[in-house]
Amino acid sequence: MSIQAVKGTRDFYPELMRRRNWIMAAWRRVSLRNGFEEYDAPIFEYPDLFTTKSGPEIASQLFNLVDRGGRSLAIRPEITPSLARMVNAKISSLPRPIKWFSMPRLCRAENTQRGRLREFFQWNVDVIGSDEVIADAEGIYTAVDFLREVGLTPADVTVRIGSRALTVSALKAAGLSDESVQAALPVLDKRAKVSDEEFRRLAVQAGMSGPQIESVCRFQDCDDLGALAKAAGGSSDGEAAVEQLRQLLATLRAMGAGEYCTLDMRIVRGLAYYTGVVYEVFDAAGSMRAVAGGGRYDNLLEVLGGPKVGATGFGMGDVVLGLLLEEKAKFPADVDASSVDYYLIDAEETCFPRVVELVGGLRGRGASADFSYARRAVGKQLKEANRRGARFAVIVREDGVSVKELATGEQRDVTAEEFLASAEGSQGNR
């Protein structure tokens, strides 16, 4: 019987694991230098946590289980609800703003396609406890900081910024009721992803008339703040949303991230809990799913039983990101190859005990070291050292060692004690 991996999951063989570790190390490095602290939460929660936050439609995406006590549980499809639960539990003692990040493994029971799997990793960055535009700017800047960190330029990726609040104002200016607005928002989010004919069909199904559809399309196609204010009907809420966007873009330019960012009112975000600025990161060609997405969600803590607290953040999945990095050849060569600091070779079989001793000494000093289990000719062991991407091949003899730097071919003869005293490792910094 042959048992296959579950559909929508990945086996991380060493070559894929190196790429995953490289991505996650960059996520962590960028988070920490932008002042965020790391957290995590259980991999399963009560289903109500997710359906309360994202609505009953999320139920179809949950992997459910029942524990021995008969309690219904769900594997987390996202971590933001867990974040809100954790913050609510200690809201009075946590200093604000709360700047946290996480890199959880998530599972969603979705139809698999390119860029979408049922199991994936996601970088989550959130600021809780601030209503200020600077908090939104920090989230977007941190995403841009990572994009730069991995070598993606404005020619490769774009951060498209919209406003849920401004979109709501435009819908109301077009004559939609509050109920119709809520039905229309998910439809507007699909506009860039479906044909014009399909969009109009969905819009009519959501209760929008022909003139309303035209009005909202004109709004979504605006790329100038002045024109957006007019298209949104000039309401006080609309004007406030325009001013927020103006401040946000100015702040991002001041922080040095402006060249990555552009206004795009077609960015609405499908989930109902977004309340203000929203954004998504796409490859410049627009040939892939969103690399990341997020925005302001000021009502979430309150919905989950806590106080009304300003919050904003984003998530970046590893699946689309990995495809983009591969397409743009951004993975470093040393990530795609196995590597070890030292590969030890016994010149004669009688030297093997000394090889084992030196390997232990090197590893104890923080260097990575490996050797052949089987006794083989020196030439074959040198080939294995090259295959393993070793920095140095160390040939152990009865009277000392020969240390060969494989990149240059330079070789020196020293005593075993001198070799150990001068050995250093690189793995701790990788």
Q: What is the pLDDT of residue 134?
A: 97
- 101 DSSP β-pair partners: 38, 125
Residue 372, burial from CB neighbour count under 10 angstroms (0-12, 13-18, 19+): middle
- Cβ neighbors of 313 (< 8 A, separation 6 or more) are 80, 124, 125, 126, 127, 128, 139, 294, 297
Q: What is the pLDDT of residue 127?
A: 98
Q: What is the pLDDT of residue 230?
A: 77
Judge whether 126 and 298 are in contact, CB under 8 Å. no
What does the pLDDT look like over 395-419, one tens digit per residue? Answer: 999 999 999 999 999 999 999 999 9
Question: CA 122, 127, 129, 133 torsion: positive or negative?
Answer: negative
Judge whether 19 and 331 are in contact, CB under 8 Å. yes
What does the pLDDT look like over 118-132, one tens digit per residue? Answer: 999 999 999 999 999
- The Cα-based distances of 359 to 23, 84, 174, 417, 420 in angstroms read 30, 48, 74, 13, 10
Judge whether 168 and 178 are in contact, CB under 8 Å. no
pTM: 0.90
How far is residue 393's CA from residue 385's CA, in Å, rounded to a whole number?
6
- The Cα-based distances of 136 to 130, 145, 206, 207, 215 in angstroms read 9, 14, 30, 32, 28
What does the pLDDT look like over 22-76, one tens digit per residue? Answer: 999 999 999 999 999 999 999 999 999 998 866 666 788 999 999 999 999 999 9
Share of the chain above pLDDT 90, in %: 80
Instruction: Using pLDDT thresholds of 50, 70 and 90, give the confidence band for residue 429.
Output: very low
What does the pLDDT look like over 274-315, one tens digit per residue? Answer: 899 999 999 999 899 999 999 999 988 998 899 999 999 999
How far is residue 44's CA from residue 74's CA, in Å, rounded to a whole number?
5
Judge whether 301 and 87 are in contact, CB under 8 Å. yes
The letter for the amino acid at 190 is K
- The Cα-based distances of 156 to 49, 180, 247, 326, 328 in angstroms read 37, 37, 25, 12, 8
What one-character-per-residue DSSP string does 274-325 give? --SEEEEEEETT--S--SEEEEE-TTHHHHTTS----EEEEEEEHHHHHHHH
What does the pLDDT look like over 86-95, one tens digit per residue? Answer: 999 999 999 9
How far is residue 317's CA from residue 105's CA, in Å, rounded to a whole number?
10
How far is residue 226's CA from residue 77's CA, in Å, rounded to a whole number?
39
Judge whether 369 and 363 are in contact, CB under 8 Å. yes
Beta strands in 57-156 (DSSP E): 63-66, 72-75, 98-102, 105-107, 119-128
Q: Quick check: 430 pLDDT over 50? A: no
What does the pLDDT look like over 319-342, one tens digit per residue? Answer: 999 999 999 999 998 898 888 999
Q: What is the pLDDT of residue 180?
A: 87
Taking residue 274's Cβ as centre, other Cβ atoms within 10 Å add up to 26
Q: What is the pLDDT of residue 425?
A: 67
User: Which domains can be identified in the chain, with CATH numbers?
Assistant: 14-327 (3.30.930.10), 340-429 (3.40.50.800)
Q: Which residue has the higher pLDDT, 340 or 235?
A: 340
Q: What is the pLDDT of residue 428?
A: 43
Q: For 113, which DSSP code?
A: B
Q: 3-class SS at 25? A: helix
What one-character-per-residue DSSP string does 214-263 give? HHHHHHHT--SHHHHHHHTTT-HHHHHHHHHHHHHHHHHHHHT-GGGEEE
Instruction: Using pLDDT thresholds of 50, 70 and 90, give the confidence band for residue 427.
Output: low
Q: Quick check: 368 pLDDT over 60? A: yes
What does the pLDDT look like over 252-278, one tens digit per residue? Answer: 999 999 999 999 999 998 777 789 999
Tell me the average pLDDT of the chain. Answer: 92
What does the pLDDT look like over 377-387, one tens digit per residue? Answer: 999 999 999 99
